[in-house]
Structure 1
Amino acid sequence: MATPNTLTLELQNLSCASCVGRAQRALESVDGVAEAPVNLATETARVSLSAPATTGDLANALDRAGYPAQRDTVVLDVQSMSCAACVGRVERLLKATYGVLEARVNLASERAFVTYLSGSTTADALAAKITKAGFPSTLREDSATTGPRDKEGEARALKHKALLAAALTLPVFLIEMGGHLYPPFHHWVARNIGQTNSHWFQMILTTIVLFGPGRLFFAKGIPALLRGAPEMNALVALGASAAYLYSLISVFAPDVLPPGTANVYFEAAAVIVTLILVGRWMETRAKGRTGEAIRALVELAPDEATVEVEGRMITRPVAQVITDEVIVIRPGERVPLDAEVLHGNSLVDESMITGEPVPVAKAQGDTITAGTVNGTGALKARVTAIGPDTMLAQIVRMVEDAQGARLPIQALVDRITSVFVPVVIAVALLTVAVWILFGPDPALGLALVAGVSVLIIACPCAMGLATPTSIMVGTGRAAQLGVLFRRGDALQTLQAVDVVAFDKTGTLTEGRPELVAFDVLNNMPEDELLGLVAGAELLSEHPLAQAVLRGAEKRGATPAKLENPKVFVGKGVVAETEYGQLAVGSYHFMHDQGISMSKIGERTYALRKSGHTVFFAALGKRLVANIGVMDPIKKEAKQIVQRLENDGLEVAIVTGDDATTAGAVASQLGIATTCVEALPEGKAKMVAQLQAGGQKVAFVGDGINDAPALAQADVGIAIGTGTDVAIEAADVVLSSGALSGVVNAFEISRRTMTNIRQNLFWAFGYNVALVPVAAGVLYPVWGLLLSPMLGAGAMAASSVLVLSNALRLRFIKPALKEAT
């Protein structure tokens, strides 16, 4: 019987002895749990468990009981991963740790994202476990200050190794292969150097290559092989060792080998190591570029800030600035921290955060964001967020989370690579056996060449890099364009969406009503009557009242000072003027005040039909004005809707407004489908109805009332200028309020998924096509046998090709520029 493992879990919602009993019974109901005493004072449970109980079973039992276990998520930097087999090995180690709920490992970013039950293990213990398995690991610091790990030093070291190996390998290659390609050269070597001396010279140089620059393959590959977890380094070490050891036997004990088979393959061993070092160097350089976008984000914020202290300006490191301190941003400087403007006016370039190229005007009361660039005006601002709480830090974390995501398409890759390397080794052994049994003379030499070629050419590097590199570059470019993927799998889901449903207010429209019609129905001058109406609205906080005040200001009308104003919330307002009592309000309010509404006429009906909210003004008992207010449609909305429809997507409006208002907006934008008069939960039901026919739906919204619909949709897209609740419920966040971000999101999703498919097609197709060639299937017909050197070159080229293809995503253009 297995020895039980003991876990300490931190529980939530424990408040009394009965809670303790329920939580303990929930844990002990899990098959495999021996005991689970719960401590109310420390709010912990100490669980003794063995198979078949799993960490997930414990978490699920506690969730159902209402006492969820506290969860922690950490990010680990993991080194020495070279292929998909390494990723699988690290993931299996983490998932086998009691307490771990989820583990995702990303080869391109060399990070592991681990979620575990608090108290069951620690980040240091997880890092130590991976390190012990041969993958040095450390807990990642705050990404807002560190960014992706710099690959320059690693690339530089690999470059030196590759150049040294190339310099040592070149003479070996020329001596051996030169003689095959140009027979007179072979005779010259035999005559002037001698065959034995030539072999000794090749052996010395190859030994230096293998145990100098190439030592890393043996240092990592052999231990992995002995642990029963072979990966890329193990395949390279096996292939190079086979060629090298066979050559040593041919030099020192040729009689051991069958007659005619004592040949040297030193050049194959040396060239294999050299080409793969060159490939690894190029791969590392390319990997470094995959993190450029997020690194650029990290570097946006300056290191120092100018702080005002008792009237003096002091330059201080940003890390030492605290909230509510006053900072000064001079013209042309970057904003060091999130802040609220106290004094000054300027235009601020927010393109690096929002993706929008037009600078934004900032004045007293406006917010400014760390990393943005101040224009020509000086600003004084109060710090509102520091360190990991700044918008820039949150964006970086969001992008990193998305980059570490495991897309559904990755499941196929995982299943194949989990068995790939052992299968390759078995195929190589089978290849050697078949050649020895059925091959022509010298069968043993040909068997060695074929076996080594299979081992080398089948390294699963390209498979491991195919998906994560595209995700890293795609989500990084998305962030530069103001599109933040909060959930990585939304990147795949979005390209399969059939319907894009928009909330109306604040999404398709500006979200701020404006006065667009003021029809005077008596002989009073417009500015005088509008001044009276504005004066009556001064005390009201209703959005329509604020629209009238803004409209009066724009038209040069001064709000009049009225006597005895009375506000009827949600209905209207009355006040005394020199012309008698003024009433401003809705149709029903006017009727209740005893005012004849016979003059509203065709103009009022026309305004209502076009989506305006219409209310009225009366002096005494006579109607004197029709007032039309409308929430303006965003200037780019029609263009964006047309672009989505041109891309084959159905566009719908889901709104709480009435059919007339929503229909007017839909008519102007050319949208056929409208779902109206929906409460927050009603919006979610309408999204569900759209989904009922098997369609995938993306919902775009910005308000608290949009959160249920954002959560219900297959992909929720939140306007970044909206509420925190909406943003938290969304899968994708547009960091600016521009609707162009919606099209950018779809374009990035489509292009990234196309890129991933291209990478996978190449990675799988390369192995499917070339492994049989390496094994020698073409030899009986055409006498072709793939050289291990060509195999090494092809393997290195495959990884570089996958990375180079992914890097093309850096050049995705903003959708609005394409649409204009």
Structure 2
Amino acid sequence: MLSSEFNLQNVKCAGCVGKIQSKLTQLAGIHSAQVNLLDKTLLVEYSGVKLDQVVITEVTKLGFGASLDIVIEEPLNLWLSVGLPLIAGGLLMSVGMLPALMLDFSTLAGFSLGLFYAVCSFAIIGLVGTKIVKSGWNGLITLNFNMHSLILLGVAAAWLYSSGIVLVSYFSSLAVIQHVYFESALIIIGLINLGAYLEERAKNSTTTAIKGLTQLVPATTTIMVDGGEQVVATNLLRTGDEVKIRPGERIPADGEVIAGEGYLNESMLTGEPLPVHKQLGDKVIGGSINTSGALVFRVTQIGGNTLLAGIIHLVKTAQLSKPKLAKLADQVAKIFVPSIMIIALLSSIVWYFCAPINPFYHAISVFMTVLLIACPCSVGLAIPVALMVGIGRGASQGILIRDASCLSAVEQLDTVVLDKTGTITMGKPQVLGITLAENYSLEEVLALLRALELNSEHPLAAAVVEYCAASAVPLQVSKFESLSGCGVRGVIDSIEYSAGSAAWMMQIAQLNLDLIVESPYSQIYLAKASEVLARVEISDALKPDSAAAIAELQQAGLRVIMLTGDNPASAHAVAGQVSITEVYANCQPADKINLIKRLQNEGNKVVFVGDGINDAPSLVQANLGIAIGGGTDIAMQSAAITLMCNSLSGVSRALDLARKINRNMRQNLFGSFVYNSLAVLVAAGVFYPWCHMALNPVIASVVMSLSSLTVITNALRLRYA
């Protein structure tokens, strides 16, 4: 499916987000549209051909800006946009506290002062509040109301009311008028700008993980050219280039080691804390650091095709995905601003008729206060900011959350189903031990085994060769044969040797048959003519932390089940080592799905953990699918969560992080709803009959900014989850 990412301008709140998404998804040819309020980006997926220009046009019609290019907005000038209106507002307030003559706008001196107030405040608002005025006005004329629409109405009401008081007082020769809001309008603009500045800084803190990932690739690197070295820009690398990496340098792209060796720190990508040894033939990941040694690798993937680029894309996409809570917040945000406008209008009407003194003053004050206090920013940020920080935190720990909608399933999980091979075990056969016949040494047997199995293509043969390689003396084999279903044989030093299955040994051997025993492990027997010399036991070894990781899941109250395509004896042997009592063996892919369905039909909420191609259907069927790192691409694409570290210990960490993100989203959403609801009630004067206290517009603007900062600050706690 084709997609494009746009950079947005003038998007300030959840109302803006909802209007853009709603408009674009109504257009033919657009499959989906997702706006990220935090980094102001729009991801559009098309059903057919790209409609980039149509998207830009429609977004512009709504009063926003959209571009395929990165738009660098001018940074907020803190002293100009915050300091000037606050200082000017403070001075106007101080002048207003001079002798009463200065407030009597019916006199020439008072009128002149009032006119000065009006012109001065209008000029400053126009200078430092341009973005607010333009965004708010666009929202009003297009009926796509946003937070700036509320602020503009509040500030405009303050300025127009105050200017009207000055004019009416002078030309109608009324007595002293006590209440004007010129200074309030300025202070409100200053506080709004200050809140925006602080909020932007806080938002930037939420994208630390993504920034950290994008900075992992070095700007330059050293390539080998005609036997020499040449430093080039990393973006000029091509597939097939040979790159030299010294200690302390970062790997610029994915590749394969062709010379040297070293220890690479991959912790930022996989969460694995210890450096990983890399030697000839090993794959290296772009972004990792060479902590010791020197190596040369051949570039296999560059740019957007590297693992690091894939992780960044996955994290950004996940941060745009919406859990159920986000959809609720979007629905509320769509009606929030119009509702606040209605509440402000009704409240001012009620106060106009009910206020004991100065009814018009009370009405206009309540109108402004309700508009200014009820910014929907905190509601709009509640979910995205928690996802941005939480998913970013997961990425830095090697936990990739592919779709945020999976987070809601975590709270109900009660059953963990684990695939055996590659998940609990290493997924690679290893020799457990060798039992020798009398009068034969281990060195002699290792040399014979290596010589025979070196030419075999059987998977178990590779494990034997690797085990024997370090200590075996090379021997020459003649008349080598590979017998399907039996084993291999050949002549070494004029003597025929055989290596193969127990059944074959029973046919060809006559001596030392007591070495042939039943075992839950795979076996290879070595025979010299008709005499059995040794028994080799081979198994898929456990991962070092599997037992501890499974114990942690069980201690958390989760039911743990293991399933495998292996035979029952091998399956139960592995299960016994990790204290799993429920085991299903000889499982085909269809059997795995049927087991998960049966568990779900019994009322269980299932998380499935696997790594292979045959695990992909089960990862999709489960309530939550987790793919283990080092697995197949199709498994990782089918899972909701991928662990970059090839370790089961990441499962508990992933579930714990998902719970914390879920909890943080609920806290943010509930807190912002309660905060805004109470704030609007207080601003409307609902509690005035009991407490005889009312907020003024200046305090309302401070309270509004604090609501967003509170939500962001709470989400930032996830950086330490």
Residues 256 and 724 (structure 1), Cα distance of their counterparts in 2 relative to 1, 3 Å cut? farther
**d(CA) in 2 for partners of 1:648, 1:208:** 65
1:222 aligned partner:
137
* Residue 308 (structure 1) aligned to one of 200, 224, 228: 224
- TM-score, with length taken from structure 1: 0.83
| 2:20 corresponds to 1:107 | no
- 1:177-188 → structure 2 map (5 Å cutoff): 179=97
**d(CA) in 1 for partners of 2:574, 2:348:** 72
1:267 aligned partner:
183
2:259–2:295 contact (8 Å) kept in structure 1: yes
Residue 798 of structure 1, CA deviation: 0.6
* Residue 600 (structure 2) aligned to one of 691, 705, 709: 691
The SS at the match of 2:77 is: helix
**d(CA) in 1 for partners of 2:173, 2:579:** 81
1:137 aligned partner:
66
2:250 aligned partner:
334
| 2:253 corresponds to 1:344 | no
Residues 259 and 442 (structure 1), Cα distance of their counterparts in 2 relative to 1, 3 Å cut? farther
* Residue 404 (structure 1) aligned to one of 320, 330, 334: 320
**d(CA) in 2 for partners of 1:72, 1:273:** 42
**Which amino acid in the other structure matches residue 253 of structure 2?**
L
Residues 492 and 172 (structure 1), Cα distance of their counterparts in 2 relative to 1, 3 Å cut? farther
* Residue 665 (structure 1) aligned to one of 574, 589, 595: 574
Pick which of 127-136 and 257-266 moved more: 257-266
Residue 80 of structure 1, CA deviation: 0.9
Residue 469 of structure 1, CA deviation: 0.9
**d(CA) in 2 for partners of 1:500, 1:325:** 44
**d(CA) in 2 for partners of 1:123, 1:575:** 68
| 2:369 corresponds to 1:453 | yes
1:164 aligned partner:
84
Residue 322 of structure 1, CA deviation: 1.3
Show CA shifts across 1:512-552 (max 9, x none).
Answer: 22212211133222221232233221211222212222222
Residues 538 and 224 (structure 1), Cα distance of their counterparts in 2 relative to 1, 3 Å cut? same
* Residue 478 (structure 1) aligned to one of 375, 394, 405: 394
**Which amino acid in the other structure matches residue 168 of structure 1?**
A
Aligned length: 717
- TM-score, with length taken from structure 2: 0.94
The SS at the match of 2:222 is: strand
**d(CA) in 1 for partners of 2:549, 2:74:** 44
* Residue 586 (structure 1) aligned to one of 501, 526, 529: 501
**Which amino acid in the other structure matches residue 484 of structure 1?**
L
**Which amino acid in the other structure matches residue 720 of structure 1?**
G
Residues 154 and 806 (structure 1), Cα distance of their counterparts in 2 relative to 1, 3 Å cut? farther
Residue 219 of structure 1, CA deviation: 1.1
* Residue 93 (structure 1) aligned to one of 18, 23, 26: 23
Pick which of 347-356 and 789-798 moved more: 347-356
**d(CA) in 2 for partners of 1:657, 1:649:** 24
1:117 aligned partner:
47
2:188–2:701 contact (8 Å) kept in structure 1: yes
- 1:248-327 → structure 2 map (5 Å cutoff): 248-254=163-169, 263-327=179-243
Residue 253 of structure 1, CA deviation: 0.7
Residue 679 of structure 1, CA deviation: 1.6
**d(CA) in 1 for partners of 2:172, 2:384:** 48
Which runs of no fewer than 5 residues in structure 2 stay unpaired?
none
**d(CA) in 2 for partners of 1:673, 1:796:** 54
2:89–2:182 contact (8 Å) kept in structure 1: no
**d(CA) in 2 for partners of 1:300, 1:370:** 8
2:88–2:183 contact (8 Å) kept in structure 1: no
Show CA shifts across 1:732-760 (max 9, x none).
Answer: 22223133322222122111111111111
1:719 aligned partner:
628
**d(CA) in 2 for partners of 1:788, 1:110:** 29
**d(CA) in 2 for partners of 1:89, 1:300:** 36
The SS at the match of 1:358 is: coil
2:626–2:643 contact (8 Å) kept in structure 1: yes
Could you tell me the percent identity over the aligned residues?
A: 34
Pick which of 233-242 and 407-416 moved more: 407-416
Show CA shifts across 1:159-179 (max 9, x none).
Answer: 641222222222234455xx5
2:285–2:308 contact (8 Å) kept in structure 1: yes
Residue 309 of structure 1, CA deviation: 1.8
**d(CA) in 2 for partners of 1:300, 1:648:** 39
**d(CA) in 1 for partners of 2:123, 2:422:** 68
1:401–1:488 contact (8 Å) kept in structure 2: no
Residue 568 of structure 1, CA deviation: 2.2
Residues 776 and 167 (structure 1), Cα distance of their counterparts in 2 relative to 1, 3 Å cut? same
**Which amino acid in the other structure matches residue 240 of structure 1?**
V
1:261–1:444 contact (8 Å) kept in structure 2: no
1:774 aligned partner:
683
**d(CA) in 1 for partners of 2:352, 2:76:** 43
* Residue 382 (structure 2) aligned to one of 453, 466, 477: 466
**d(CA) in 1 for partners of 2:83, 2:556:** 49
**d(CA) in 2 for partners of 1:385, 1:765:** 50
- 1:483-498 → structure 2 map (5 Å cutoff): 483-498=399-414
Residues 266 and 357 (structure 1), Cα distance of their counterparts in 2 relative to 1, 3 Å cut? same
Residues 257 and 789 (structure 1), Cα distance of their counterparts in 2 relative to 1, 3 Å cut? farther
| 2:672 corresponds to 1:763 | yes
**Which amino acid in the other structure matches residue 95 of structure 1?**
T
1:579–1:619 contact (8 Å) kept in structure 2: no
**d(CA) in 2 for partners of 1:300, 1:752:** 25
1:785 aligned partner:
694
Residues 762 and 259 (structure 1), Cα distance of their counterparts in 2 relative to 1, 3 Å cut? farther
Residues 196 and 260 (structure 1), Cα distance of their counterparts in 2 relative to 1, 3 Å cut? closer
